[in-house]
Amino acid sequence: MARRHPAVHHLIIYSALLPFLVLALFPVVWMAMTAFKHERDLYTMGVSFWFNEPPTLKHFRLLFTQTWFGRWIVNTAKVSGAVVVITLATAVPAAYALARFRLPGAQQIGIAMFMTYLVPPIILFVPLTYAVAMLGLLDSSWALVLVYPTLTIPFCTWLMLGFFRAVPAEIEEAAWIDGCGLMAGLVRVVLPMSVPAIVTVAIFAFTLSMQEYLYAVVLSLPHTEKVITVGLPTMLIRGDIFFWGALMGGGLLVGVPVALLFGAVLDRFIQALTGHSRP
């Protein structure tokens, strides 16, 4: 049987992927168009797939002049960054200890940590809220920095545990022979080999911190302490009035940079999940 020409082979592959690409990009394109449309254009009868009036920036001006959008971005970045640091500082050494040290019940501990991730957050809502109130962090974005690691650390520790077990112990033993201690071997040998898993853990912790709503809407109630996921819907949805242009503009300003950041580390993410880098 004759082999297909490479160009024909690629054409078939991309033709099959094209419908999925259109479905994936259509919401983003619609969001961008809505963010720049005038209200008269948004509320015309029927579905308009293009601009009937010139594009406008009034929705973005509304975001930055009539809401606390800039403060919400700062709060979101602060919370997400702190949660990533806490998660990595806790999950990496915990997973390494479970993978390398002969601790009694290490296998069962790893499974138990993963099982805690499956517990619905609503079950832990009351005790965590009580703990936050006792610490005096209620109505503060720092309450989210305290609560979110309880959601990210169990799963991230389990994920790093599997990756550390895949790293041959002989590599560390060779480093010890060359004069490295336990910590030096971890920092100079194991962690550089674990960059894909670390990136994956950081992405998971970052996205969960940005997308979580239940704890954020209760624990950081003041307008100046809200994060993006709470601030946009609570400020721009007033009863049956939806400020669609501003909502889509806020989603665009937050979603596009995060998508670009995710695309920049996509190779590392795929390598951690599959064990192979993307060609």
Looking at every residue in the chain, the average pLDDT score rounds to: 81
Cβ neighbours of residue 265 closer than 8 Å, sequence gap 6 or more: 199, 203
Query: What residue has token string 């991730």?
Result: 117
Q: What is the pLDDT of residues 18-33, one digit of tens each?
A: 888 888 888 888 888 8
Q: What is the pLDDT of residue 89?
A: 92
DSSP assignments along 79-121, one per residue: HHHHHHHHHHHHHHHHHHHHHHS--TTHHHHHHHHHHHHTS-G
Task: Decide: 80 and 146 in contact? Cβ < 8 Å.
Answer: no
**SS3 of residue 237 by DSSP:** strand
CATH superfamily of 61-274: MetI-like (1.10.3720.10)
Measured CA to CA, the distance from residue 183 to residue 243 in angstroms comes to 54
pLDDT tens readout for residues 222-256: 888 889 988 888 888 887 788 888 889 888 888 88
Q: What is the pTM (predicted TM-score) of this model?
A: 0.80
Please choose, from the candidates 138, 117, 131, the residue with its C-alpha nearest in 3D space to the C-alpha of residue 204: 117
Smallest CA-to-CA distance from 247 within 260, 262, 231, 261 is with: 231
Would you say residue 272 has pLDDT above 50? yes
pLDDT at 122: 78
Residue 184, pLDDT above cutoff 90: no
Alpha carbon separation from 97 to 45, 101, 186, 189, 272 (Å, rounded): 62, 5, 11, 15, 20
